[in-house]
Amino acid sequence: MLLVRLIPLILISIIVSACASIGSGTKQEKREAILGMSDDILKQLYREKPDTRAQIKSAVGYATFSNANINLFVVSAGTGYGVVKNLKTGKYTYMNMAEGGVGLGLGAKDYRIVMVFHNISSLEHFIDNGWTFGGNADATVKAANKGGSIEGEAYYGDVTVYTFTKSGLALQATVKGTKFWKDSILN
């Protein structure tokens, strides 16, 4: 009986989270839009954490992602897109992401992720495998430049991950899995 009640919530989560799509346009227009989004994310990160500019400059690469996430009581889902830049070669790898989880919460948010890769093996492993699993707890009330959110910073071996919310209203604690993969059309 519980599963029958959860199916509509899961479907709504998937439909709403699909809003994180890059949208329409040519292959080149989509790439340019993602690179513009990436620049905006880095500017925001540098504004909020100025020391990250030197950290990224000394890294072998970084990734930036835009993600929309919704949590309805016990189900969480999200989707997004982004780009990985190898700072040694200058090469960009365009990627997609999707996440799903369970936990307690309610809300929706539009958030950003920056991953800083400190060695080439961590960068290549992410591009080739791109899977993470983790928990998430946050409180967000933010619209435009008003409101606030609790932001995160984590270290996974040779990767530093920063997250921050662009907009949303959420209070959630979830265990979720996130899958990142190469975009077969944009690469």
Residue whose tokens read 């925001």: 44
User: What does 95-113 look like in DSSP terms, one character per residue?
Assistant: EEEEEEEEEEEEEEEEEEE
Residue 128, domain member (yes or no): yes
Contact status, residue 115 vs residue 56, Cβ threshold 8 Å: no
Q: Count how many domains the chain has.
A: 1
Domain span including residue 133: 2-182
Full pLDDT tens readout for the chain, 187 residues: 444 444 444 444 444 444 445 678 899 999 999 999 999 999 999 998 899 999 999 999 999 999 876 766 667 778 899 999 999 999 999 999 988 776 666 566 677 889 999 999 999 999 999 876 655 444 434 344 444 444 455 556 789 988 877 544 444 455 667 889 999 999 9
Residue whose tokens read 């430049």: 145
Residue 187, domain member (yes or no): no
Residue 69, domain member (yes or no): yes
Round to whole Å and give the CA distance between 180 and 48.
26
| Structure-block tokens of residue 33 | 């839009």
pTM for the model: 0.76
- DSSP symbol at 122: H
Round to whole Å and give the CA distance between 136 and 181.
21
